[in-house]
Homo-oligomer: A and B are copies of this chain.
Amino acid sequence: MRELQDLQLLIDKAVTELKYPDYPAELYDPIFYILSMGGKRMRPALLLMACDLFGGNVEKAMPPALAIEVFHNFTLMHDDIMDKAPLRRGRTTVHEKWNQNAAILSGDVMLIEGYKLMMQVEDRFLRVILDIFNNTAVGVCEGQQLDMDFEVRDDVKIDEYIYMIRLKTAVVLGGALKIGSILGGADMKDADLVAEFGENLGLAFQLQDDMLDVYGSPEKFGKQVGGDIIANKKTYLLIKALELADATQKTELNKWIAITEFDNQKKVEAVTGIYNAVQVKQYAETTMHQYADKAFDALEKINLPEENKQYLRDFADSLMVREY
């Protein structure tokens, strides 16, 4: 089996070789720009990995893998407009560097180019793969809409949050793995199990991410501690803490959410204090492990040689953090 890292590099190289017209420049330049920002190329690499696991030809799976990457970057380009984000990966976002119209229209073309790449599969795969791609794409849009809806609601429940992150982040991982499995020769039952593995692992990973924001050591993860708290981001921790809090704690939490002028460190300390008092981290960990377990359960059922399953287990383990 090929190393995931090698597959990521393979994607990275192939991305730089994507060809689009020069004209109209404002339509196509933003595509090259956002694709050149890098990123881990995890989604397309997972597609190739799944293909490889079932003994498929990784090179032939490259166009659909690139389709996933182009699609993912389309969602980033449009999400950045909607979130009014000035920066992505430390660089100016497309709607800031060009203008909003360029970001809308270039994103539209990227979605179409995603389909064009996804169609570069053998005829026998065409319909089944496009069906998965369609469902994945609709799911991501629904997830983004729910994310925006939740921003302005103060009664979001944990189940709704899980439903949202499943759509917004996990289904693409599941979809990429499913497409790769099918291209590799898996039957639909195994492809669905790999997707289930990926989707649940994606959920566990997102919940871990929510926790690392507050409890991760900045030296280890290179992130500002409490960024989500400062931004009032509705994470698992905040939603669950509001649910667990008594009247006093709830008032205190809502006070910190409401005020617009504050000292970052003080807010992070105060909110973390409430998180600790209601033991929200333990809840988050339990839920995270539930999804990780679901992922491993699905994995065990896949009809693959033990060696290949071990590869998937190792991959899953590498994503989950042991020490904060």
Residue of B24, B101, B108 touching A111 (CB-CB under 8 A): B108
Q: Does A158 contact B (CB under 8 A)?
A: no
Chain B residue nearest to A81 (CB atoms) is B104
Chain A, 114-153, CB within 8 A of any chain B CB: 115-116, 119, 123, 126-127, 130-131, 134, 137-138, 141-142, 144-146, 148-149
Residue of B27, B101, B115 touching A115 (CB-CB under 8 A): B115
Instruction: Return chain B residues, CB-CB under 8 Å to A42.
Output: none
A145 and B115 contacting across the interface, CB-CB below 8 Å: no
A112 and B127 contacting across the interface, CB-CB below 8 Å: no
How close is A98's CB to chain B, nearest CB, in angstroms? Answer: 11
Q: Does A109 contact B (CB under 8 A)?
A: yes
A116 and B134 contacting across the interface, CB-CB below 8 Å: yes
Instruction: Return chain B residues, CB-CB under 8 Å to A131.
Output: 119
Asked if A141 meets B105 with Cβ closer than 8 Å, knowing A126-B126, A149-B24, the reply is: yes
How does the 8 Å CB contact mask read for A90-116 relative to B, with 1 for contact and 0 for none?
Answer: 000000000001101101110111011
Residues of A within 8 A of B (CB): 21, 24, 26-27, 78, 81-82, 101-102, 104-105, 107-109, 111-113, 115-116, 119, 123, 126-127, 130-131, 134, 137-138, 141-142, 144-146, 148-149
